[in-house]
Amino acid sequence: MNFEALLSDRLATALQAVAGRPVDAAVRRSQHADFQSGAALPLARVLRRAPRDVASDVLARADLGGIAVAEVSGPGFVNLSVDDGLVHAALAELAADGRLGVPLTTEPRTVVVDYSAPNVAKELHVGHLRSTVIGDAAARLLEWAGHRVVRANHLGDWGTPFGMLLEHLLETGGGEGGDLTAFYRAARARFDADPEFRVRARLRVVALQGGDATTTALWRRLVAQSESYFLDVYDRLGVTLTAGDFVGESFYQDMLADVVAELEDKGLVRVSDGALCAFPDGFTGRDGGPLPLIVRKSDGGFGYAATDLAALRHRVRELGASQLLYVVGTPQRMHFQMVYAVARAAGWLPAGVTATHIGFGSILGPDGRTFASRSGDPVKLADLLDTAEQRASALSADPLVARAVGVGALKYADLSGDRMSDYLFDWDRMLALTGNTGPYLQYAHARIRSILRKSGAAPGPVSLTDPAERALALELLAFPALVEQVVSSLELHRLAGQLYRVATTFSAFYERCPVRTAPPAVRDSRLGLCELTARVLRQGLGLLGIDTPERM
């Protein structure tokens, strides 16, 4: 049961009667009671009345019978204490529900989550961390809510760089020993320095696009090598992307001509400076002129935008998606807004189908600038994972636990802040056992599991006597509504924040309330509360893609 919503609802009716118009009840958790509403204060200003009078008026009209006891407090707050019986009933319901109060959606959608999307023959680096971690959490969350989720790993596996890469591979056999960065760089260096190589590289692109057998086989090998490398990193990172989710840019090549034909038919593109462009409404350049989305370049080649348009059309038409999410860094925001605008004009995003760019800020190094390695290259994700595991081994001697803690710390640091903000990459902070960190939450969970193991008794129905128990219960009860809210907003940090509140309230409870040494009835009730707390932490962290080891 969502107390906050229930109380807001009842107060809103009363507020409307007093104000003569709808007023937000602004019900929040409070130190002074279970919940508090501050709505009377701003309303009193508008009505030019004393705030306490307004609050009393509201209370006199509010139908809270059997739900809560209310009183006016301080300058005009309304303090609300939820009915005991109701709290107990809600707790019992939560505990009995395998889904912890989160209903399966009654309107399942097909949701395509486009995330991770590294480029073939390049390292997965820190720039891919956020897309991969955020996208994976979003996919888990939507799936758990009952939606059909299609994970789309839009691999960069096509385009002009492949001429240079394949030609280099063919001529040298790729002697860089599997080092992707070195391989890419060597190919690039030759391309830049050697005009004859450049010519051969261009011919190689033509051969690839023309389906030449040798070239295609070579390209397949290159892509397969990268894919298996990416899968290794995904496995270590504990993300749910599999081989079946790779749908690279190359997949859409056969559709591009038709996409262009359809755009032409609908009069949505025209030639500008030799390139075929769409000029979606509402997008202007620096000079105030219309901004082009280049669908076909002047040399006849298709670019990134054409592929994204084809992918979008495919996802809606063939996959039946009604929600498209693109988890890609904020610098690409404009690109996606333009793609959506063109797609909408073309009728590829009919009513009821949404396309959303799930942007995110950058990861900054300790100096506050882009996080780079000493050589100035972006930090490899594989190296980050090595360091995470190695550092976490100080927290646990068990290598599996150390891995869960290291990876968990990395992911939690990424997911616990508002995703639109940049954040500072700081090993010490993310691995700290105190504060809003992954290890702190994993530790809270492991500690509860240990209490349960050592108790030698079975958790019983919960009966609240101490205020610290009640505070914990209210945080647990807030879980389902919060999950539902995050499923729609994808503000993953709110879920993280709620789990953190659960863990800290648990700590406060455990400090005050003995469990194992309490009289049996109290002990069993407290064990019940412990168990429910562990379940909420485990489920919540699981939705964020973070493991919860039994022991730490």
Residues 321-340 that bind ligand ARG (CB under 6 A): 326, 328
Asked if residues 255 and 314 have their Cβ atoms less than 8 Å apart, the reply is: yes
Among 36, 119, 215, 416, binds ligand ARG (CB under 6 A): 119
Q: Which is nearer to ligand ARG, 137 or 532 (CB)?
A: 137
Is 156 among the residues that bind ligand ARG (CB under 6 A)?
Answer: yes
Please name the residues in contact with 375: beta carbons below 8 A apart, sequence gap of 6 or more. none
Which 229-288 residues touch ligand ARG, going by CB under 6 A? none
The interface region with ligand ARG, picked from 17-25, 114-122, 139-147, 356-364 by CB under 6 A, is 114-122
| 198 vs 297 by CB, closer to ligand ARG | 297
Cβ at position 119, least distance to ligand ARG in Å:
5
Nearest CA-CA partner of 442 in 485, 509, 392, 385: 392
Residue with tokens 């030449």: 212
Residue number, 308 or 524, with CB nearest to ligand ARG: 308
Of 387, 380, 382, 386, which is closest to residue 125 (Cα–Cα)?
Answer: 380
291-310 residues in contact with ligand ARG (CB under 6 A) are 308
Q: Is residue 507 exposed (0-12), middle (13-18) or buried (19+ Cβ within 10 Å)? A: middle
Of the candidates 222, 230, 240, the one whose C-alpha atom is nearest the C-alpha of residue 167 is 222
Q: Sheet holding 354-357: strands in order across?
A: 148-152, 110-114, 323-326, 354-357
Distance of closest approach, residue 310 Cβ to ligand ARG, in angstroms: 10
- The Cα–Cα gap between 319 and 245 comes to 13
Touching ligand ARG, residues 405-464 (CB under 6 A): none
Smallest distance, ligand ARG to C-beta of residue 156, A: 4
Out of 151, 154, 168, 501, name the contact with ligand ARG by CB under 6 A: 154
Smallest gap, in angstroms, from Cβ of residue 328 to ligand ARG?
Answer: 4
- Is residue 138 near ligand ARG by the rule CB under 6 A? no
Angstrom distance (rounded) from CA 43 to CA 466: 35
Choose one: 26-34, 84-92, 112-120, 455-463; the region binding ligand ARG (CB under 6 A): 112-120
For strands 148-152 and 423-424, give the pairing. Answer: unpaired
> Judged by CB under 6 A, how many residues of this single chain contact ligand ARG?
8
Q: Say how many C-beta atoms besides its own lie within 10 A of residue 399's C-beta.
A: 11
User: C-beta of 142: minimal distance to ligand ARG in Å?
Assistant: 18
Please report whether residue 132 would count as binding ligand ARG according to CB under 6 A.
no
Task: Tell the smallest beta-carbon distance from residue 1 to ligand ARG (Å).
Answer: 40
Tokens linked to 286? 């620096």
Among 4, 34, 57, 114, which residue sits at the site for ligand ARG (rule: CB under 6 A)? 114
Q: DSSP alpha helices (H): ranges in 62-194?
A: 84-96, 126-144, 161-172, 180-193
Q: Residue 30 or residue 253: which is nearer to ligand ARG going by CB? A: 253
95 vs 155, beta carbon nearer ligand ARG: 155
Instruction: Compare residues 358 and 529 and give the one whose CB is closer to ligand ARG.
Output: 358
Q: Which residues contact 510 (CB under 8 A, 6 or more apart)?
A: 451
Measured from the CB atom, is 42 or 303 closer to ligand ARG? Answer: 303
Please state, in angstroms and as integers, the Cα–Cα distance from residue 167 to each residue in 188, 203, 222, 248, 316, following that order. Answer: 11, 9, 12, 21, 36
Q: Find the binder of ligand ARG among 7, 39, 95, 117 (CB under 6 A).
A: 117
| String marking each residue 519-548 x if it binds ligand ARG according to CB under 6 A | ------------------------------
Of 216, 130, 121, the C-alpha closest to 174 is 121
The CA-CA-CA angle for residues 416, 421, 423, to 5°, reads 65
* Cα 196 to Cα 183: distance, rounded to the nearest angstrom: 19
Nearest approach, Cβ of residue 129 and ligand ARG (Å): 12
**Are 382 and 180 a contacting pair, CB within 8 Å?**
no
| Residue placing its CB nearer to ligand ARG in the complex, 68 or 112 | 112
Q: Nearest approach, Cβ of 395 to ligand ARG (angstroms)?
A: 33
Going by C-alpha positions, the residue among 420, 424, 387, 418 that lies closest to residue 405 is 387
Give SS3 for 408: helix
Per the CB < 8 A criterion, the answer to whether 327 and 114 are in contact is: yes
CB of 155 to ligand ARG, least distance (A): 7
Instruction: Compare residues 144 and 340 and give the one whose CB is closer to ligand ARG.
Output: 340
Residue 496 Cβ vs ligand ARG, minimum distance, rounded to whole Å: 24
Q: CA-to-CA distance for 377 and 259, rounded, in angstroms? A: 37
CB under 6 A: which stretch of 19-27, 111-119, 218-226, 505-513 binds ligand ARG? 111-119
User: What secondary structure letter does DSSP report for 120?
Assistant: T
**Residue 495 CB, nearest approach to ligand ARG (Å):** 24
Q: Which residues contact 317 (CB under 8 A, 6 or more apart)?
A: 348
CA distance 70 to 79: 6
Interacting residues with ligand ARG (CB under 6 A)? 114, 117, 119, 154, 156, 308, 326, 328
